[in-house]
C-alpha cells in the first residue's frame, strides 16, 4: 500500500486489509511517502499495534517506486496491491486467490466501486462508475469475467512480477497498465473477475480532481508516445473532445469577425454538432437517474463529467506533444505542501 497524506482514510483501509478471511500467513507493507498531515505518525501507531504491518520509507513519493519497495520487502508468493483510499470486502483476497488458481492467471482484478460522502464526491463516484465517465473499462462496472487489458489494483504472482521486472519506476501514472502490458506480452493472463470489488473514495474537491486527471492524462499521452496503438481507442476520446471544442471556438471567432462567411461558414458550422451533442449528453446524464437524487448532486454531476474529460484530454495532448517529463499528481498534497521534485 503506497501512502501519502491519507490520515482520513488510512485507518479504515488498514482495518479492511487486516480483516481478510484468507487462510494463509499475511503481511501488510506500507510504503510511506513524506506526508505532512499526520499520516506517518498514524502508520507507526498502527504498526505498533499489529506485527503484520511493515513500514518502508518511500521518500520519492512516486507510486511505482513505493510499490517496488513494498514488493521487495515482502516475503510471500502472492502480492495484493491495495490503495490507502480504498476498502476491501473481507472475502476479497480469498476469492482472488481462488480465481488466480482457477484460471491460471498471473494477475487478477475486480471492480472499482467508487463511493462518496459529500455531494461533490458522490458525483465523482458516479462518474467513475459510469461508462460515460471513464470510458467503459471493465473494472469501472464490467459484469463479464474474462481476460483483460489491465487490472484494478491487482492480485499478482510474485514470480511473474520478478520475471517481467516489477513496476517501471519511470512511469508515475498508468504504471499498472504498463506492467500488465508486459505481463501479457510475456505470455501470461491478466484476468477480470466481477465478483471482486473494492470500495474507492475519490478526490474531495474540484481542484484536486482536475489536478489528478490532468496528470493522469499527461502520463497517458506519454504511454501513447512509448507504446502507440498498444493503447485502447477509448483513451483518445477525451483529447478528441478537447480538439473539437478548440476548433469550434476558432470557427466561432472567425464567423463573428466575418472572416468566414457564406458557404464556408455553413460548412464550418458542422464542428458545432459534436460539441452540442456532448453538452446534451452531459445534461441528460445529470438530469437522469445517473445524476443522483438531489439537485446538488445533479449540478455536481454536470460539472464533474466535463471537468474530468477536459482535464484528462488536455493533459493527454500535452503528454503526446511534449511527453510527461516530471509531471506528478499533486492532488494528494495538502495546502501546506509544495510540488514534489
- pLDDT tens-digit series, residues 62-109: 999 999 999 999 999 999 999 999 999 999 999 999 999 999 999 999
pLDDT digits (tens, 9 = 90+) for 197-232: 999 999 989 999 999 999 999 999 999 999 987 778
pLDDT of amino acid 288: 85
What CA–CA distance (Å, rounded) separates 130 from 43? 33
The closest alpha carbon to 167, from 75, 67, 56, belongs to 67
Residue 267 Rama label (left phi>0; alpha psi -120 to 50; beta) = alpha
pLDDT of residue 176 exceeding 80? yes
pLDDT of residue 184 exceeding 80? yes
Q: Kindly give the residue spans of alpha helices, DSSP state H, lying in the chain.
A: 7-18, 39-49, 63-73, 92-103, 119-129, 131-134, 158-164, 175-185, 206-227, 237-256, 262-268, 272-287, 295-322
Question: Among positive and negative, which fits the CA dihedral 79, 84, 85, 89?
Answer: positive
The closest alpha carbon to 12, from 98, 115, 97, belongs to 115
What CA–CA distance (Å, rounded) separates 6 from 35? 8
pLDDT of amino acid 293: 76
CA distances from 175 to 2, 45, 92, 153, 171 (A): 13, 30, 22, 11, 6
pLDDT of amino acid 317: 97
The closest alpha carbon to 177, from 216, 208, 135, belongs to 216
SS3 31: strand
The three grid cell numbers given for residue 305, joined into one nine-digit string:
463529467
Domain 2-202 has CATH 1.10.150.530: no
pLDDT of amino acid 136: 59
pLDDT of residue 337 exceeding 50? no
pLDDT of amino acid 137: 62
Structural contact between residues 56 and 32, judged by C-beta atoms closer than 8 angstroms: yes
pLDDT of residue 328 exceeding 80? yes
| Residue-range domain boundaries for the chain | 2-202, 227-332
SS3 255: helix
Angle of helix 7-18 versus helix 39-49 axis, rounded to 10: 20
Amino acid at each position: 500500500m503506497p501512502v501519502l497524506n491519507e490520515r482520513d482514510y488510512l485507518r479504515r483501509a488498514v482495518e479492511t486489509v487486516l480483516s481478510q478471511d484468507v487462510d494463509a500467513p499475511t503481511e501488510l507493507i506500507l510504503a510511506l511517502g513524506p506526508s505532512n498531515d499526520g499520516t506517518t505518525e498514524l502508520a507507526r501507531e498502527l504498526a505498533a499495534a499489529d506485527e503484520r504491518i511493515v513500514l518502508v520509507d518511500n521518500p520519492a513519493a512516486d507510486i511505482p517506486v513505493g510499490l517496488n519497495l513494498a514488493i521487495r520487502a515482502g516475503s510471500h508468493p502472492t502480492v495484493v496491491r491495495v490503495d490507502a483510499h480504498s476498502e476491501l470486502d473481507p472475502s476479497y483476497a480469498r476469492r482472488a486467490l481462488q480465481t488466480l488458481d482457477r484460471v491460471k492467471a498471473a494477475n487478477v482484478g475486480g471492480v472499482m466501486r467508487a463511493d462518496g460522502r459529500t455531494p461533490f464526491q458522490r458525483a465523482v463516484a458516479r462518474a467513475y462508475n459510469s461508462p460515460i465517465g471513464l470510458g467503459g473499462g471493465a473494472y469501472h462496472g464490467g459484469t463479464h469475467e474474462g481476460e483483460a487489458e489491465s487490472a484494478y489494483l491487482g492480485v499478482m504472482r510474485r514470480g511473474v512480477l520478478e520475471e517481467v521486472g516489477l513496476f517501471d519506476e519511470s512511469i508515475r501514472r498508468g504504471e499498472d497498465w504498463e506492467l500488465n502490458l508486459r505481463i501479457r506480452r510475456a505470455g501470461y493472463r491478466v484476468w477480470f473477475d466481477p465478483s471482486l470489488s473494492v470500495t474507492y473514495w475519490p478526490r474531495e474537491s474540484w481542484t484536486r480532481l482536475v489536478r489528478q486527471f490532468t496528470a493522469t492524462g499527461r502520463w497517458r499521452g506519454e504511454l501513447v508516445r512509448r507504446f502507440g496503438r498498444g493503447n485502447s481507442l477509448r483513451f483518445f476520446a477525451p483529447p478528441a473532445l478537447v480538439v473539437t471544442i478548440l476548433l469550434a471556438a476558432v470557427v466561432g471567432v472567425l464567423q463573428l469577425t466575418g472572416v468566414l462567411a457564406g458557404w464556408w461558414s455553413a460548412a464550418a458550422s458542422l464542428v458545432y454538432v459534436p460539441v452540442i451533442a456532448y453538452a446534451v449528453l452531459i445534461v441528460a446524464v445529470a438530469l437522469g437517474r445517473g445524476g443522483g437524487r438531489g439537485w446538488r448532486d445533479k449540478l455536481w454531476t454536470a460539472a464533474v463529467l466535463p471537468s474530468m474529460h477536459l482535464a484528462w484530454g488536455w493533459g493527454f495532448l500535452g503528454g503526446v506533444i511534449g511527453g510527461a517529463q516530471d509531471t506528478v499528481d499533486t492532488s494528494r498534497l495538502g495546502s501546506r505542501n509544495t510540488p514534489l521534485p
